[in-house]
Each structure stands twice: as structure tokens, then as C-alpha cells.
Copies of this chain bind each other. A is one copy, B any other.
Amino acid sequence: MTDAGRPRSTAIPAIRRLDALGELESGDRALLELAADRPAHVRAHRELVAAGQSLAAPMLILEGWAAHVRIMPDGRRQIISLVLPGEIVGNRGPDRPRATATVLAVTNLATCRLPQHTSARLDRAYATSRTLDESYLMAQVVRLGRLDAAERIIDLLVEVYERLEIAGLGEEGRFVFPLTQEMLADTVGLTSVHVNRVVQQARQRGELVWTGRSVHLTDVGQSRRSVGRPDRLAGG
């Protein structure tokens, strides 16, 4: 279900996402396009925000992936959450954004400051985005707490696919997935060795095609049922 009735709003995925979340008007889109017109670039592996630092303003990811990361004193690493194109770092509504964890550029990034004090519709898009952030974090907790290795990986891939789909960056179960198996392991709380084995099993089942940086979930519906994902919330 791409956009049947509505015309495609813009060529910029990040803006398409906010449009989808808030039903923006053309003025809102123009404002966002203006902001996106002079993007700031960040190289992969650079820190966007150090833990405990505060962010000047919320930041919109235009291209590339970022992640909230926690590294423990002994070197263990956990990717707490991913930030995909169209999603926002430091989106805390009225209060000052203060990072609760380090934010890392997973790939090269294009970003811009998030326009503030704007229309009601745009604010609604931001608010919806915030609500989604929370639900993604909760889903991550359930994933790590109660799913086994195979389920964790499929569940994460399904979630990523559905998140990318909002910005028009995924279709028919296909999407770009720039994480290495090692980073995937740090996301789902496993070792890269075990991730590798489990991914191969999913391949052999025909559930998953993953070559280079592109992933194809051959039957998203089946996959999402197999991991007991709750139905998507009805719109509104």
C-alpha cells in the first residue's frame, strides 16, 4: 500500500516519513525541504552525541543509519536502538534534548536540524514519531528478554523493514540493510558467530535473502506471525 490516492509528496524519504505520520500540508513540506537543503554530513563510526551531552536541537536523519550505543567498561557493546532515515535524534518535545546514551553514525549520514515551532500538523508528526520511538524501544526489550536467537533476528529485520516502509524505503520485503553481522549481533544481544549460524538457517529455510547490503524477507506476514509480533496499531 504505497500512496494510492495521495500524490507522492517529495523525493526525500525523510520528509515522506514525516508526511506519512502527520498528513502534512505543502507549507510543512516546503519548510522541511528548506532545512534538508543544506544537510550536514557525518562520517560512519563518528559520534553524533556523546553520552550525557545535550544536543543543540533535535536532528533529523536524512540519509544513512545512526544508533544509540552503550559500551561497557570491559568492552561489551550494546546497540540500544537504531535511528533510520526520517527518524529523529533528540526528539523530546518541549524539554531540552539530553542524550541518555552515545549516538553513533553507523553509516555516512546526511542530517539537518529539525525545524521547530511550526504548524500543528508538523508537531503532530513529531509527536507520533516520539511515540513510535518508545514503542520501538519496548519492542527491543521484549526481543532481548523473551525471544530466542532466530526470533530476535527475524523480529528485528521485520521491524526495520516496516520502519523503512514508512519512508518509502522498503517494498515487498526488500530493503537496504547496512549493518554488518557483528553490529547486528550487538543489536540483538548475541555474538557475531552465532548470528552468522542463525542467519544461515533462515536462508536455508528460504525465509531470508541477504546479499551484500540488501535484505529480502520473502514472506513478511509469515515472519511477523512466527515471532508473535502484535498487529500494527490501527491508524489515527
Q: For residue A138, which residues in chain B have a CB less than 8 angstroms away from its CB?
A: 68, 70, 80-81, 100-101, 137
List residues of chain B with CB within 8 A of the CB of A80. Answer: 138, 141-142, 145
Chain A contact residues, majority secondary structure:
mixed
Query: What are 9 inter-chain pairs, A to B, with CB distance below 8 A?
Result: A68-B138, A72-B142, A78-B145, A80-B142, A92-B93, A95-B127, A137-B141, A141-B141, A146-B189
Q: Does A7 touch B at the CB level, under 8 Å?
A: no
- Are B92 and A142 in touch, CB under 8 angstroms? no
A78 to B128, CA, bound (A): 25
Give Cα distance in the complex from A233 to B52, angstroms. Answer: 7
A140 on the interface (CB 8 Å rule)? yes
In the complex, which of the residues B78, B228, B233 contacts A72, with contact meaning CB atoms closer than 8 Å? B228
Chain B residues whose CB sits within 8 angstroms of the CB of A94 once the complex forms? 93-94, 123, 127
User: Does A183 interact with chain B (Cβ within 8 Å)?
Assistant: no
**A130-B81 in contact (CB<8A):** no
Q: Is A3 an interface residue, CB under 8 A from the partner?
A: no
In the complex, whether A121 has a CB less than 8 A from a CB of chain B is no
Q: Does A212 contact B (CB under 8 A)?
A: no
Which chain B positions have C-beta within 8 A of A137?
A: 134, 137-138, 141
Taken together as a complex, chains A and B put the C-alpha atoms of A98 and B100 apart, in Å, by 23
Interface residues in A206-236 (C-beta closer than 8 Å to B): 228, 230, 233
Interface residues of A in 60-96 (CB under 8 A from B): 68, 70, 72-74, 76-78, 80-81, 92-95
A230 nearest in chain B by CB position: B51
Q: Answer yes or no: A135 CB below 8 A from chain B CBs.
A: yes
The residues of A with any CB-CB pair to B shorter than 8 Å are: 51-52, 68, 70, 72-74, 76-78, 80-81, 92-95, 98, 100-101, 123-124, 127-128, 130-131, 134-135, 137-138, 140-142, 144-146, 188-189, 228, 230, 233
**Residue in contact with A146 in the complex, picked from B77, B93, B135, CB distance below 8 Å:** B77
Q: Would you call B73 and A228 a contact (CB within 8 A)?
A: yes
Q: Do the beta carbons of A131 and B78 come within 8 Å of each other?
A: no
Determine the distance from Cα of A92 to Cα of B81 in the docked complex, in whole angstroms. 19
A144 CA to B138 CA, complexed, in Å: 12
CA distance in complex: A145, B137 (Å): 13
Contacting residues, chain B, for A81 (C-beta < 8 A): 138, 141
